[in-house]
């Protein structure tokens, strides 16, 4: 049974359609018709009847494996009409799409062009020009405020003191261990 036909049958059952409900209900003496299901009292009576009759429900263990899956699918597809088979076949067809290719505006450089030295516009030709460029660059720097500077200095100082303590303890430990191992002169 395809997903579309299963969804359509589910929609009919949810909306109270009589065709799907009648096909879903068996025509035995113990079962109810679609008109009885719409009645809340009849539904309650049917629920209690099924709950009391344990033989009415048959538990089918699930079969595992590709062969049993194929057999189950074949059994479900036996009741398909020609239109449902065509719809199911159309649903399986997958289309591959290609990503759009955008044309480049400029061609790729050749290796000889790529390896050529290009002129550096920021290269200073004399010390005075270098000093002027450096001063201009330093004006663009965003300097930290005094509280930011103090907090960063404190963090660095604490980190350095911790590292001094760790290295000092390791030095003392290794020195003591070597003296015990080798003895002192």
**CB–CB of 49/30 below 8 Å?**
yes
Q: Is the pTM of this model over 0.75?
A: no
**Residue owning tokens 């044309």:** 103
Residue 79: per-residue pLDDT: 79
Question: 88 and 2 in contact (C-beta within 8 Å)?
Answer: yes
Enter the DSSP assignment of 16. T
Most confident listed range (9-23, 35-49, 88-102, 140-154): 140-154
- Kindly list the domain boundaries of the chain, sorted by start residue: 3-91, 153-185
Q: To which residue do tokens 């191992």 refer?
A: 181
Is pLDDT of 168 > 80?
yes
Rounded CA-CA distance 52/29 in Å is 16
74-131: per-residue pLDDT in tens?
777 787 888 887 777 766 656 666 777 777 788 887 888 777 777 777 777 889 989 9
- Residues of 32-60 as b/e, b for ≥16 C-beta within 10 angstroms? bebeebeeeeeeeebeeeeeeeeeeeeee
């Amino acid at each position: 049974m395809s997903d579309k036909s299963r969804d359509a049958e589910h929609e009919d059952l949810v909306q109270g359609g009589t065709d799907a409900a009648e096909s879903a209900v068996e025509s035995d003496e113990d079962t109810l018709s679609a008109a009885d299901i719409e009645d809340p009292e009849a539904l309650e009576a049917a629920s209690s009847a099924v709950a009391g009759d344990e033989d009415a429900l048959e538990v089918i263990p699930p079969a595992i494996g590709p062969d049993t899956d194929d057999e189950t699918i074949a059994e479900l597809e036996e009741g398909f009409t020609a239109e449902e088979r065509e719809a199911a076949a159309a649903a399986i067809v997958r289309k591959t799409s290609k990503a759009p290719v955008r044309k480049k505006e400029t061609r790729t450089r050749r290796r000889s062009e790529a390896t050529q030295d290009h002129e550096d516009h920021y290269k200073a030709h004399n010390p005075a020009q270098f000093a002027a460029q450096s001063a201009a660059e330093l004006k663009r720097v965003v300097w930290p405020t005094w509280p930011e500077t103090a907090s960063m200095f404190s963090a660095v100082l604490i980190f350095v003191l911790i590292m001094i303590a760790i290295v000092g303890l390791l030095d003392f430990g290794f020195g003591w261990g070597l003296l015990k191992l080798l003895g002192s002169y």
